[in-house]
């Protein structure tokens, strides 16, 4: 499901790096939790001050998602989860949004 960017709250829009709106993440939270490599592949957390209650509260970064143009394991592609639409909004690589603060090497 596409999210119209004009409907994205300013606090979330401010996280979006240019050039990544074409990226998509089709997995569900159940898919993520059931993934055998969940601890190696994903990192998630709360949006803190940028949270929009009932709409955007958490982010997810995927270390295997190559939409950012890098190599798997070098950077992670990050998304904000839209609770109303049950879909992930592309934000950009972790090197831009800086959600994951420790180095990521696909280790579990």
pLDDT tens digits, 19-45: 999 999 999 999 999 999 999 899 999
Q: How far is CA 53 from the centre of its chain?
A: 17
Residues spanned by the domain of 79: 40-108
Is 17 part of a structural domain of the chain?
A: no
Q: Rounded CA gap, 61 and 20, in Å?
A: 14
Mean pLDDT across 1-8: 59
Q: Give the containing element (helix H, strand E) for 94.
A: helix 94-97
Burial of 75 (0-12, 13-18, 19+ CB in 10 A): buried
Distance CA(70)–CA(61), nearest Å, equals: 14
The tally of domains found in the chain comes to 1
Rounded to two decimals, what is the model's pTM?
0.86
Q: What is the pLDDT of residue 74?
A: 76
């Amino acid at each position: 499901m596409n999210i119209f960017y004009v409907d994205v709250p300013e606090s979330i829009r401010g996280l979006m790096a240019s050039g990544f709106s074409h990226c998509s993440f089709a997995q569900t939270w159940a898919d993520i939790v059931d993934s055998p490599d969940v601890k190696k592949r994903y990192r998630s957390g709360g949006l803190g001050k940028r949270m929009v209650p009932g709409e955007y509260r958490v982010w997810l970064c995927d270390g295997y998602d190559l939409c950012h143009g890098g190599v798997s394991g070098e950077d992670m592609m990050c998304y904000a989860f839209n609770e109303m639409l049950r879909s992930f909004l592309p934000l950009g690589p972790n090197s831009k949004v800086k959600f994951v603060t420790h180095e990521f090497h696909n280790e579990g």
